[in-house]
Structure 1
Amino acid sequence: MMHSLSRLLIPLLLTPALASAAPAQERPELAGNWLVRVAGPRPLTTVLSLDERGGVLTPRAFSWQQTVVPTSATRTDSGLVVALTARGVESALDVAVRGDSLRGSWRAAGQAPRSVSGMRLPRETLAPLTGTAVFDSVVGVLQRHFFDPGYNGADWAGLVAEARGRVAAASSDGEAYAVISGLLRALGTSHLGFTPVVRLAAPPSANTATPPAPAAPAPSVSWQVLSPSMGYLRIASFSPSGAALMPEVMRMDSAFAAMAGLPAIVIDLRGNEGGSVDLAYRLGQHLSARPVPAGYFVVRRGFDSRGMRSAAALDPATIPPLPSDGSVSGAMLTGAVDAAGGAAMLYIGGGIARPYTGRIAILTDQNTGSAAEAVAAILKESRGAVTIGERTAGAMLSAADVMVAPGWRLRYPAMDFRTAAGVRVEGNGVAADVPVPPADRAALLRAAAQALRVPAP
């Protein structure tokens, strides 16, 4: 499932201090792969690849699902300026390069300038993409494990043959990366991306500095009693798992304890890009007295063994169930579905002495994705929830990660998902029953109160 953007970008483990200033008459060497970190409330880290031929710079960014897209690069006396879009916003990177370090500023439309630091990556950090070894590894994983044997209707064999020839002829990592990314985009599916994972093993020295520890993440679950008639539950992410899960479960339990007597609650999933089933299990327990079918997953084996081209061919009544007690964690989900024969029904609910029985509204926007939009679809079916805001992202598949070469990670969709009624969220999203501009919280809450038949707070 879809993870939040901050967890899928390249981790920055070491940040170099500036090298000694180069002589004024020397033009800095720019070609290569650069680790770039943009500071700020939403830090952004990516790898920028620069090719230079005949004095012309060609920039490319190695980023998750083309979050960062350079359009041009211009050399300056001290470094370069790169025009790009980042997270859909027009931006400019203006940096000075000294040796193998860079430093400067990031300017985006409507935002204050942000500081930038970075370093040229040693050649051994990332396996070279030129040649076909890494390309063949990517293709091999998808041919074995991509959930859909029909590759979402694409001419997979033809696409691979054409792309392989272009990768074999590529003269730089950036050029080869563009070809591989284009091949993945041609499949037209979510949860599919090829990104670097940079791990610098060299110990700190006079030329390096250990970055400060990251700030503790904000809680995923928060709540507020808005009035005697309506409560508000905010779930910013379903990503917490492992040791981070229990504090969020406790917050969710406290929220429902505080709102137990209210006739209606609003669940805010705006901007929630998904995560795992772990926290969603607990939400389901609070909203249903007994386990109810929520939706089913199908892995490649389920398609192949049944000779299916679509999960719509399955009769939901014949699909074996997964345990409803939360014992199958998000990390175990794909294995459990495979062990069940390649298809399995997820059940939610039960396990809470007094679940919440009042009316429910769900706030959504176009960034409500993956597990979050699955929750919205499931609660519409199982609890009659009304959705308010915008249609969700339409990006609901379950993903897996694999390292395909030193420094390179492939994320691919390993399972298809349908609701218990057979509705496919991927590519469609969940429509808003009451369309409202998603940024207007007051208007959303007024619309929710009207839909839930309670006084507006």
Structure 2
Amino acid sequence: MGTAFGVEAPGGYRPLFEQVWTTVETNFYDPGFHGTDWAVVGQRYRGQLGSVADDAAFQALVARMLGELKVSHVAIAPPAGSGARARGIGARFERVEGAATAVEVSPLSDAWRQGLRPGDRLQGPADALAGPIGSRVDLNVRTCAGATRALRVARVGLSASESPGWRWSRYAPRKGLSLGYLRVDRFDDGAAELADRAMSDLGDTQGLILDLRRNSGGNTSALRLASYFMQPGERPVFALYARSYLQSLGRRPSAADIARGPKTIGAYTDAAVFEAIGAQHGAAVFHSDPLPGKTRYRSPVVVLIDGETASAGEGFAWAMRLYSGARFFGRDSAGALLSGETFELARGWSLTVPVHGLWAADGRDLGDRPMTPDRRIEWTRADLCSGRDPDLEAAIDALAP
């Protein structure tokens, strides 16, 4: 498909470009486009279509245009199998002590087979790691042992999922003290039932660690778990507003708007969320769950967050900060808190657009607002090389002094 598009230049991508632009124009949640004149932006990037000769160039052009909105949950994806889909080496790098450092390496990757390990420092820019699947990249790394190694690593396509993506355990650091640990990777359909099971098993512990690190999001099923840590009853927690509601309102939503908005309780699937907002003319105010017959948790709670805690994971974190006494350890969350929808385009392309903004019950706009921890914990290279988890250690020390 990329080759076919390439020979149609300069006009071959224009219909697809117009479909992208119109999809954003029609569905983007903010009527003011975050202060961007979307019509002017479209004209500017239309003028650059003549230089687009293949899928990769088109994707790069559209990505730059979408970037002018300065929001999360917006992305263009080429067809499956397209050479425009850049791949990495199956490793995640972060800046640790000022240097790009491997913090996670998939054991399925060629990078792992070549000997790349957490704690290895990259000698060169991390952005050079992306490229066509199957191609190779030359790396120089400084290992935890202090040696310099040259690696030739294959770029791979890796995606992972874990079902259900929840796991929990109990830990007794000393006699008479039991701590709970609950890790949540996603808040997807089915999460409400898992929240009930986890809290049934952990409800009698004397302290609880909620691990949201690398939680990539999901939906409002996060409210079921958050409700276990709030005061009994139900209360407005946050509102999701679509473009249609915000246009009719004609101003920023206020706490009064949210208080009298359409109440929604128990919408714990993607379909239920979109149905509630659609049925209520682009607005839904999500309330905490009264949890009939359930026991609320009253012992101390520490929530672990990091730079990959995003979307519904951040929504859960904000609910916990606003309505529970939980403490937060780790690093700032991703600042990627909006509600997106993926639209299928022509020729196998797809476009994700933020279709709902999110406001707290007090009228605060939480859109793309990162959560800052109460206790910031910066990892060192020595932590990575030794396999330590400073976040978890700090949480245990706080709950079991």
Flag structure 1 segments of 5+ consecutive residues without an equivalent: 1-31, 34-121, 201-213
Paired position in structure 2 for 1:306: 249
Greater alpha carbon shift after TM alignment, 249-258 vs 182-191: 249-258
- Cα separation, partners in 2 of 1:123 and 1:395, compared to 1, 3 Å: same
1:41-440 matches, cutoff 5 A: 123=4, 130-198=12-80, 217-227=162-172, 228-238=177-187, 240-241=188-189, 245=190, 249=192, 251-278=194-221, 280-288=222-230, 289-308=232-251, 310-311=252-253, 315-322=257-264, 324-326=265-267, 329-353=269-293, 354-437=295-378
In 2, Cα distance between equivalents of 1:155 and 1:250: 44
User: What is the aligned residue count?
Assistant: 311
Paired position in structure 2 for 1:102: none
| Structure (1 or 2) with the greater strand fraction | 1
- Cα separation, partners in 2 of 1:167 and 1:402, compared to 1, 3 Å: same
Query: What amino acid is aligned across from residue 65 of structure 2 in structure 1?
Result: L
How far off its partner does 1:229 sit? 4.1
In 1, Cα distance between equivalents of 2:182 and 2:379: 16
Flag structure 2 segments of 5+ consecutive residues without an equivalent: 83-158
* Secondary structure of 1:161 counterpart: helix
Query: What amino acid is aligned across from residue 317 of structure 1 in structure 2?
Result: A
How far off its partner does 1:260 sit? 1.5
- Cα separation, partners in 2 of 1:438 and 1:295, compared to 1, 3 Å: farther
How far off its partner does 1:172 sit? 3.1
In 2, Cα distance between equivalents of 1:287 and 1:444: 21
In 2, Cα distance between equivalents of 1:364 and 1:383: 16
* Secondary structure of 1:346 counterpart: strand
How far off its partner does 1:415 sit? 0.3
Does the 8 Å CA contact 1:320/1:340 hold for their aligned counterparts?
A: yes
Query: What amino acid is aligned across from residue 237 of structure 1 in structure 2?
Result: R
In 1, Cα distance between equivalents of 2:195 and 2:255: 37
How far off its partner does 1:337 sit? 1.7
Does the 8 Å CA contact 1:395/1:425 hold for their aligned counterparts?
A: no
How far off its partner does 1:318 sit? 2.6
* Secondary structure of 1:189 counterpart: coil
In 1, Cα distance between equivalents of 2:179 and 2:233: 24
- Cα separation, partners in 2 of 1:250 and 1:295, compared to 1, 3 Å: closer
Does the 8 Å CA contact 1:191/1:413 hold for their aligned counterparts?
A: yes
Output one character per residue of 1:176-231: Cα deviation in whole Å (capped at 9) or x when no partner: 3222111001111000001023289xxxxxxxxxxxxx987354111121222421
* Secondary structure of 2:334 counterpart: coil
Over the matched positions of the two proteins, sequence identity in percent amounts to: 27
In 1, Cα distance between equivalents of 2:192 and 2:287: 18
- Cα separation, partners in 2 of 1:358 and 1:135, compared to 1, 3 Å: same
Does the 8 Å CA contact 1:130/1:176 hold for their aligned counterparts?
A: no
Does the 8 Å CA contact 1:195/1:410 hold for their aligned counterparts?
A: yes
* Secondary structure of 1:162 counterpart: helix
In 1, Cα distance between equivalents of 2:270 and 2:355: 13
TM-score (norm 2): 0.70
- Cα separation, partners in 2 of 1:131 and 1:222, compared to 1, 3 Å: closer
- Cα separation, partners in 2 of 1:417 and 1:138, compared to 1, 3 Å: same
How far off its partner does 1:401 sit? 1.1
TM-score (norm 1): 0.62
How far off its partner does 1:291 sit? 2.0
* Secondary structure of 2:319 counterpart: helix
Query: What amino acid is aligned across from residue 168 of structure 2 in structure 1?
Result: W
